[in-house]
Amino acid sequence: QKEVEQDPGPLSVPEGAIVSLNCTYSNSAFQYFMWYRQYSRKGPELLMYTYSSGNKEDGRFTAQVDKSSKYISLFIRDSQPSDSATYLCAITAAGNKLTFGGGTRVLVKP
């Protein structure tokens, strides 16, 4: 069993819809949670960072962490075609080594 599980998708939504992404993890030592966005043939870039249970908002993006269930989510409101990318969750216990999920490919159709 992988330490971090993520549905590979693809997830196809119409423009303006809410995109819902999630990851589950198995190690309760994980304390810091990140979401990266990766456009095709590019390196991943950090989108959201959180270290506690609850919600964190940044513009159209909301990251949610439930440590009791070992479950993290990313919501994208009012999705745009430019949001089409692969989204990777990344989790760490100590901060200097990340464990990544496999990534979910998202396609937002105009």
Partner 1 sequence: DAGITQSPRHKVTETGTPVTLRCHQTENHRYMYWYRQDPGHGLRLIHYSYGVKDTDKGEVSDGYSVSRSKTEDFLLTLESATSSQTSVYFCATLAGEYNEQFFGPGTRLTVL
Q: Closest approach of Cβ 82 to partner 1, in Å? A: 19
Query: CB of 75 within 8 A of CB of 93?
Result: no
Options 12-20, 44-52, 53-61, 71-79: segment touching partner 1 (CB under 8 A)? 44-52
Q: What residue type is 16 in one-letter code? A: G
Kindly tell me which residue out of 10, 26, 27, 45 binds partner 1, with binding defined by CB under 8 A. Answer: 45
| Contact call for residue 34 and partner 1 (CB under 8 A) | yes
Is residue 79 a contact residue for partner 1 (CB under 8 A)?
no
* Residue 20 CA neighbour count, 13 Å, CB half: 1
**25 touches partner 1 (CB under 8 A):** no
Say how far apart CA 40 and CA 46 lie, in whole Å: 15
Instruction: Name the one residue in this structure whose structure tokens are 């159209």.
Output: 60
CA geometry: angle 53, 29, 57, nearest 5 deg: 25
Q: How far is the CB of 26 from partner 1 (least distance, A)?
A: 15
- Confirm or reject binding of residue 61 to partner 1 (CB under 8 A): no
